[in-house]
């Protein structure tokens, strides 16, 4: 998220709701909150199949890394989650410039 914010030309340190002088990614924290359910879903899927595992295995890490490739619906278009993150950051920029009135966030498919 922080990378997408910087690519858009915004400063990740200037948060909307998150404010902490020791956190250089307050805006990233704000924008990623609606993305948390996607990661929660992947963790729950893993736990459903691997309920006995308590360690962070290589397989679990590989499963979680799939989040970037999950398809989501954002502004009525299907995109990989990684692209949706960039789209969200860009939509915030457009809100600041007056081109848009709402930040775009994805929906699970």
Residue 107: phi and psi, rounded to 5, are: -120, 145
- pLDDT tens digits for 6-60? 999 998 887 887 777 777 789 999 999 888 888 888 889 888 998 887 888 898 8
All structural domains of the chain: 2-108 (1.20.120.920)
Tokens of 48: 């459903």
- pLDDT tens digits for 70-101? 899 999 999 999 999 999 999 999 999 999 99
Cβ neighbours, 10 Å, residue 107: 11
pTM beyond 0.95: the answer is no
Give the max Cα distance, the chain.
51
DSSP 80-102: EHHHHHHHHHHHHHHHHHTS-SS
């Amino acid at each position: 998220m922080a990378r997408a914010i910087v690519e858009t030309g915004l400063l990740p340190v200037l948060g909307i709701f998150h404010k902490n002088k020791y956190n250089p990614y307050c805006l990233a924290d704000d924008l990623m909150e609606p993305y948390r359910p996607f990661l929660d879903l992947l963790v729950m899927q893993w736990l459903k199949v691997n309920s006995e595992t308590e360690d962070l295995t290589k397989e679990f890490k590989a499963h979680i890394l799939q989040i970037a490739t999950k398809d989501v619906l954002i502004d009525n278009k299907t995109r990989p989650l990684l692209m949706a993150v960039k789209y969200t950051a860009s939509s915030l920029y457009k809100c600041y410039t007056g081109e848009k009135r709402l930040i775009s966030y994805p929906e699970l498919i």
